[in-house]
Amino acid sequence: DKTVSSENIEAINKMLDEGYYLAYTTGRPLNGAKKLIDKLKLPKKNCFLLCFQGCVVYDLEREVVVNAHPMDKEDMLQLVKELHKRDYYIEVFGQDKFYCFAYTEATKRYSGLADEDYEVISGYDVLKNQPIYKVMAIDFENKEPLDQLREEAQAGVYPFDSFFSSS
pLDDT in tens, 79-120: 899 888 988 889 999 988 899 999 988 888 877 776 788 899
Please compute, for residue 124, the number of CA atoms within 13 A of its CA located in the half-sphere on the CB side: 13
What are residue 21's DSSP bridge partners?
none
Q: What is the mean pLDDT of the chain?
A: 87
pLDDT at residue 162, rounded to an integer: 66
**CA–CA distance, 127 with 131 (Å, rounded to integer):** 8
pLDDT at residue 128, rounded to an integer: 93
pLDDT at residue 19, rounded to an integer: 93
CA-angle at 25, arms to 23 and 29, nearest 5°: 125
pLDDT at 157 over 90: no
Residue 151 CB coordination number (10 Å): 10
Of 140, 51, 61, nearest to 104 (Cα)?
140
pLDDT at residue 57, rounded to an integer: 96
What are residue 50's DSSP bridge partners?
25, 57
pLDDT at residue 1, rounded to an integer: 64
Residue 165 CB coordination number (10 Å): 8
Write the CA distances from 129 to 28, 80, 111, integer angstroms.
21, 14, 22
Task: Between 110 and 121, name the one with better pLDDT.
Answer: 121
pLDDT-based confidence at residue 59 (cuts at 50, 70, 90): very high
**C-beta separation of 92 from 81 below 8 A:** no
pLDDT at 134 over 80: yes
pLDDT at residue 164, rounded to an integer: 63
pLDDT-based confidence at residue 166 (cuts at 50, 70, 90): low
pTM above 0.95, yes or no: no
pLDDT at 167 over 60: no
Residue 69 CB coordination number (10 Å): 12
**CA–CA distance, 96 with 30 (Å, rounded to integer):** 7
